[in-house]
Chains A and B, each alone.
Chain A
Amino acid sequence: AQSVTQLGSHVSVSEGALVLLRCNYSSSVPPYLFWYVQYPNQGLQLLLKYTSAATLVKGINGFEAEFKKSETSFHLTKPSAHMSDAAEYFCAVSDLDQGGSEKLVFGKGTKLTVNP
């Protein structure tokens, strides 16, 4: 089964600083990988996804992530943090259950705080 590890449950940056949220996965097959953002008391919004095309994936709101097979990583970055980026971020990998049905496996999440 696939699994996802997000290093750092809390990350704090200053406004304008680089954002780096770490995600490592375990997978026996080429994975599909996702980053989602969740604002308080809301559902999840897809930031970006990797589906075996370009290894550098650009998403919404200036975020991007790079798939590195050798490091089994899919870290999320943004060059300059904005106050509105403060939220919970989840990395997820697509997995297949025993019946061949696809499902998402989520990491535990990283809460991003942006300081003025």
Chain B
Amino acid sequence: GAVVSQHPSWVICKSGTSVKIECRSLDFQATTMFWYRQFPKQSLMLMATSNEGSKATYEQGVEKDKFLINHASLTLSTLTVTSAHPEDSSFYICSARRGGGRYEQYFGPGTRLTVT
């Protein structure tokens, strides 16, 4: 149990376009989902925390209007990178936490975004 999926696993888009990444908890309800960004050979940096049915909480330095997060249901959160630029190229990883679980985050397999 506790499987988290991401779609797509990799995506290439042109500069100036928008791309949406989905994060799904397949076998549990996730009241909280997290979005991370990982640059090559670096650690994960938390971008934002989203709670089902409410606005996401963004970490300092993360542009809210550029990285749109929606957590419309207990099993789905989406990250939309708007007007993507090459510097947005990165590995994006989501995680999901069960309702009531203080610390257990289950991670998705990640999405590789390349902006050309």
**Cα–Cα distance between A107 and B38 once the two chains are bound (Å):** 12
Residues on B with beta carbons closer than 8 Å to the beta carbon of A111 = 41
Given contacts A32-B103, A99-B57, contact A107 B43 (CB under 8 A): yes
**Cα–Cα distance between A105 and B32 once the two chains are bound (Å):** 16
Residues on B with beta carbons closer than 8 Å to the beta carbon of A108 = 42-43
For B, the interface residue count at a CB cutoff of 8 angstroms equals 24
Q: Are B103 and A43 in contact (CB-based, < 8 A)?
A: no
**A interface residues, Cβ below 8 angstroms from B:** 32, 34, 36, 41-46, 49, 51, 90, 94, 97, 99, 101-109, 111
Top 5 closest pairs, chain A to chain B, by CB: A43-B107, A44-B107, A43-B109, A106-B43, A108-B43
**B interface residues, Cβ below 8 angstroms from A:** 4, 6, 32, 34, 41-44, 46, 49, 57, 91, 93, 95, 102-110, 112
List 5 A-B pairs, Cβ < 8 Å.
A42-B109, A45-B107, A49-B104, A97-B49, A109-B42
